[in-house]
Amino acid sequence: MNRSPAAQRRTIVIAGGGPVGLSIATLLSSSSHTEDLDIRLFEPRQVPSWEVDTVDLRVYALSRASQSVLENLGVWKTVAAARAAPYRRMQVWQGEHDARIGSLIFDSSEMGEPDLGHIVEDSLLRAQLAGALAHTNVKLTFGVGLTAIDVGERGVDITMSDGETLSATVLVAADGSASMVRNLLKMPISTVSYAQRALVTHVTTEQPHAETAWQRFLPGGPLAFLPLNDGRSSVVWSAQAEHAEALCELDDVKFQTELQIASGGVLGQLGATVERVSFPLNAAHARRYCDSRVALVGDAAHTVHPLAGQGMNLGFLDAAVLSDVLIDALNRGEDPGDLRVLRRYERQRKGDNLKMVLALDALHRLFQISGSLIPPLRAVGLSVINVMPLAKAVLMRQALGLRDDLPTAAKPRIA
């Protein structure tokens, strides 16, 4: 490491206080360069809070790699103890058949793993990560966003919505799919609209979810039941926009009837639901992840169809790689905001993310194809994969995030 007592202080500004932005702040603040860094994080929303008595509607299916990131940040034990729900099996089937025909079943025991991942609430993640940062040198500012950005040769000048101005060595855009940073800098992004909306709610079920994630591919889009810690299931129902909006307007009894039919009764009679919300679905991918002094991470750089629950997992890997790149640059005595440095992050993440965007887009389109012979062929395809151990093992390793080239922060701790 080339740091000297007179090392130049660097200012890192992170726009966005979601799990990805908070993770980057935590990783940088826990590095050996913490005394050389002024880290600022701005988030337009208010201070995150998690309610013990209310399960957040927004949940993520976190992979083993994402769990490792949270373990290395020192928050996973608290998150798991609070309300993380493991899922040990996943069953996927073609909509025209019941769950016993044309199914693809993943079981963690086949891989010698304790689980396939965990279902975790957004508010729980944000509250725990923000709490961990309270004991670091990171300055968190909530309720404030960016209004102007001016990138120069040696730094980037930023104006905040409260009138504060500051100069940074690096600006990290972790501010979501409608990224203000990306828009202000006119960084191009390719977007495909699916003309669908995802409806989310929580539901009680007659049959226990058995720590299983269930997914049925219907003609209008996939329907998923994700196991929650309290015995209920989180529902993510992707449907044509008009259908999704109509489902949101139904009274509880009529909605439960529609959901019962769509689920094929895989979990028995459905009971009480909570509020329903929906959001538009699209796939997007930034044509470049960085400019001089600026890097895009998470949904600011890419969004994917939620059918495989990979969005947040991609974001955590972005956070881990960008932190590795910035820390390595500081170790080398380099300017971490130099475009040549930031392109190392882009090279490591852009290809993998694009492959996931395209793969999920192709899978979505495959299950949208209609015709009398297509559904039986899809069912046969799922059944064939289900009896091919090697193919299933590859798919499960991908879902778990088990790979040899993980960034430092995503590698499991050695006991």
Question: Please, are residues 197 and 278 in contact by the beta-carbon 8 Å criterion?
Answer: yes
In a domain, 348, yes or no: yes
In a domain, 105, yes or no: yes
Domain containing residue 18: CATH number: 3.50.50.60
Q: What's this model's pTM, rounded to 2 decimal places?
A: 0.91
The structural domain count of the chain equals 1
The per-residue pLDDT for range 237-292, each reduced to its tens digit, is 999 999 999 999 999 999 999 999 999 999 999 998 899 999 999 999 999 999 99
Say which amino acid occupies 123. Answer: S
The per-residue pLDDT for range 14-40, each reduced to its tens digit, is 999 999 999 999 999 999 888 889 999
The per-residue pLDDT for range 304-347, each reduced to its tens digit, is 988 778 899 999 999 999 999 999 999 999 999 999 999 999 99
pLDDT value at position 361? 80
As a whole number, mean pLDDT of residues 111-132 equals 94
In a domain, 264, yes or no: no
Question: How far, in whole angstroms, is CA 213 from its chain's centroid?
Answer: 17
**Could you please report the per-residue DSSP string of 300-330?**
GTEE--GGG--HHHHHHHHHHHHHHHHHHHH
Mean pLDDT of the chain: 88
What whole-number distance in Å separates Cα of residue 31 and Cα of residue 14?
16
Lowest mean pLDDT among 116-125, 306-315, 374-383: 374-383
In a domain, 296, yes or no: yes
In the chain, what is the greatest distance between 2 CA atoms, to the nearest angstrom? 72
Question: Please, are residues 191 and 282 in contact by the beta-carbon 8 Å criterion?
Answer: yes
In a domain, 331, yes or no: yes
Cα dihedral sign, 159-163-168-170: negative
In a domain, 243, yes or no: no
In a domain, 250, yes or no: no
**Could you please report the per-residue DSSP string of 127-171?**
HHHHHHHTTSS-EEEES--EEEEEE-SS-EEEEETTS-EEEESEE
**Could you please report the per-residue DSSP string of 173-214?**
E-S-TT-HHHHHTT--EEEEEEEEEEEEEEEEESS--TTEEE
The per-residue pLDDT for range 61-99, each reduced to its tens digit, is 999 899 999 999 999 999 999 999 999 998 888 765 555
In a domain, 399, yes or no: yes
Other residues' Cβ atoms within 10 Å of the Cβ of residue 210: 12
Domain that holds residue 311: 10-191+282-410
**339-377 burial code (b ≥16 CB/10 A, e <16):** eebbbbbbebbbeebeebbeebbeebeebeeeeeeebee
Question: Please, are residues 361 and 310 in contact by the beta-carbon 8 Å criterion?
Answer: no
Non-local CB neighbours of 156 within 8 Å, separated by 6+ positions: 13, 149, 150, 167, 168, 169, 170, 171, 293, 294, 337
Record the tokens describing residue 61, joined without a space.
Answer: 């299916």
What percent of the chain is modeled with pLDDT above 70? 86
Record the tokens describing residue 53, joined without a space.
Answer: 């008595």
What whole-number distance in Å separates Cα of residue 283 and Cα of residue 198?
13
